Amino acid sequence: MGADNADPMDEDRVEEVGAEASADSRVVYEDFSPDYLRIYYARLFPYAEIYKWLSYGHDGKHPGCDATIMSRREFSFTLEHDIYIRYLSFHDVAEMEATIKSKCPHKIDIGALYNVEPAKRSAYAGGSDRVFASVERELVFDIDMTDYDDIRTCCSGADICLKCWPLMNVAIKILDTVLREDFGFEHLLWVYSGRRGVHCWVCDTRARRLSNEARSAIARYLTLYKGNENTTKKVSLTGPSLHPALSRAYEICRGYFEEHILPNQGLLRSEEQFDKVLELVPDESAVRTQMRDRWKRASTSKDDVSAIRWKHLKQTLENKKLAPSVRRSVEEIVFSYTYPRLDIEVSKHMNHLLKAPFCIHPKTGRVCVPIDPLDCDNFDPTTVPTLGQLLYDLNNEGGKAGPEVKDLEKTSLNAAVRLFQTKFLDPLQRANKAEITCSYQQKLQQTSATNVLSW
């Protein structure tokens, strides 16, 4: 959480609700406790994997490696009672491990890579020619379920359930496709934020070196939803056809809308509900009143009423005699209810902090586990292991297993760490290696070329 954009209040507004709902059925094990956290850091937290990731191949022995990469990375800790410590940095995995174990942070954030060690930044403040500045940072995205409150009927605030979670899956699918196909990025890490949303870390070298302006531009390219509390229509499409990125997104959105969001949220079930949808149809057409009258007359309580009414509306709007802007409202409705809503501020600035994967969310006790974007439909946030669960695993499974079995392998966290390793870290490391070798050779050639000239 960057000091500039921190907005802790939004988080508290929903706290009470969150705490109630997450009261787990487990009797002996609480979801979260500082004592458990100490054990988690002592026996389970995947230090080596995180370290490997953030070193980007520079922890090896190749002469092209820049060993300072890791030590220039900012970490920040949130300790008990909301005490923040910013600008921490570690020289190696041992120091990182020791510090985390001793401070036992409730939350670990990862910041940018700076030109000098964040811990020594004060030496560069004021007067000196060199300034302390960020030089690299993963391109990150944050999608938060609270931003969908105006369309969710199942829960609100920090609560999530399987009825609204498909909204996150649409978001993952759409962003993942855009980032890979349009922008050519390959190393994407998707993570469950532990409570009510997902994060994405784009780790390609080109992405890490993007300027703040480029980050904003990508975020805007991805943004369709433009509205605040004072507008009714949040998605406005212009032009006679959709941009290829949007028509591709529309196919994804439509599937989720008709299969999940429309029936799960009962969007056209009650009068209050369907009025909200009809507001998105331009009012100069007679369609609004026509549909409203028709639906009010035939009030029905059948389960699939939303699906039937959606079909009515679509058929009515297909009429070629209607103005294009009116017909267009089918797409606008689908987009309004499913297109990803980004917290754009998080993506715009290099310096923004974002919670590290494998942290524990203090409110839910759940681990921030990676999500496989290709298999996100099968991801169930309500079964993500909690700290209590992990301890239970350690004590029960751990008792049965022999001493040769590693702690991690005794728990349900193992699968998540394996996923991180195989789907994300392995391909990333292959690319890192190739890149380091390649740029080293280029450098050698350049030096030899200058040698020839000066000879």
Partner 1 sequence: MEFRSRASHVKLNGAVKAYGVGGGGSRVSMYLVAPDVDVSLEDFEQYALDRLRVLIAIEENRSRGKRAEEVDSAVSDLWKKHMRTVHSDAQQQKDVISHFVLRLVHCRTEELRRWFMEMETALFRFRFKAESPESQKAFIEDHKLPYKSISSGEFEAMKEKLAQVMRSSNQSASLIGETNFYKVPFEEVLDLVATRRVYVHQGHAFVPRDQLVTIVSNHFRSMLSQSLILTNRNWTAMFAAQEEDRLSPILEALSKRYLAPDYSKSVSGSSVALQDLDGLAMRSFPLCMRHLYLKLQEDHHLRHGGRQQLGLFLKGIGLKLEDALAFWRGAFAPRMPAEKFDKEYAYNVRHNYGKEGKRTDYTPYSCMYIIMSNPGVGDHHGCPFRHFSAENLHAALSGMRLEPKTIDEVMEKTRGRHYQLACAATFEGSHNCQCDGINHPNQYFSQSQNYLKEQAENASQMETDS
- Is 74 among the catalytic positions? yes
Q: Which residue among the candidates 144, 159, 204, 343 is catalytic per the annotation?
A: 144
Q: Where does 309-403 show beta strands of DSSP type E?
A: 354-355, 370-371
- Kindly state the smallest distance separating residue 217's Cβ from partner 1, in Å: 4
Backbone angles phi, psi at 71, to 5 degrees: -75, -10
Cα dihedral 304, 305, 306, 311 sign = positive
Give how far the C-alpha of residue 179 lies from the chain's centroid of Cα atoms, to the nearest Å: 13
CB nearer partner 1, residue 235 or residue 408: 235
Q: What angle do CA 266, 269, 273 make, to 5 degrees?
A: 85
DSSP assignments along 167-217, one per residue: HHHHHHHHHHHIIIIIT----EEEEE-SSSEEEEEE--HHHHT--HHHHHH
Tokens of 292: 């409203």
Could you tell me the sign of the dihedral formed by the alpha carbons of 414, 416, 418, 420, in that order?
negative
CA atoms in the 13 A half-sphere facing the CB of 100 = 30
Task: Return the number of the residue (147 or 397) whose C-beta is nearest partner 1.
Answer: 147
| Least Å from the CB of residue 268 to partner 1 | 22
CB of 126: closest distance to partner 1 in angstroms? 9
Regarding beta strands 83-88 and 139-144, do their DSSP bridges make them parallel or antiparallel, or are they unpaired? Answer: unpaired
Shortest Cβ 6–partner 1 spacing (Å): 7
Tokens 């805007």, residue located: 220
Comparing CB distances to partner 1, the nearer of 35 and 149 is 149
- Give which of 200, 197, 196 is closest to 347, Cα–Cα: 200
CA 360 to chain centre: 15
Of the candidates 31, 74, 97, 159, the residue annotated as catalytic is 74
Of the candidates 97, 136, 138, 142, the residue annotated as catalytic is: 142
Q: Closest distance between partner 1 and the C-beta of residue 339, in Å?
A: 13
Asked if 35 is an active-site residue, the reply is no
Give residues with Cβ within 8 angstroms of 342, minimum separation 6.
141, 142, 143, 219, 222, 223
Q: Please report how close the Cβ of residue 232 comes to partner 1 at its closest, in angstroms.
A: 5
Q: Are 86 and 98 in contact (CB under 8 A)?
A: no
Burial letters for 268-285: b for 16+ Cβ neighbours within 10 Å, e otherwise?
A: bbbeebbebbbebbbeeb
Decide whether 32 or 250 has the Cβ nearer to partner 1: 250
CB of 264 to partner 1, least distance (A): 20
Site residues (vs partner 1, CB under 8 A): 3-10, 12-13, 82, 146-147, 149-150, 181-185, 206, 210-211, 213-214, 216-218, 220-221, 225-233, 238-247, 341, 343-345
- Would you say 63 or 427 has its CB closer to partner 1? 427
Catalytic residue set: 74, 142, 144
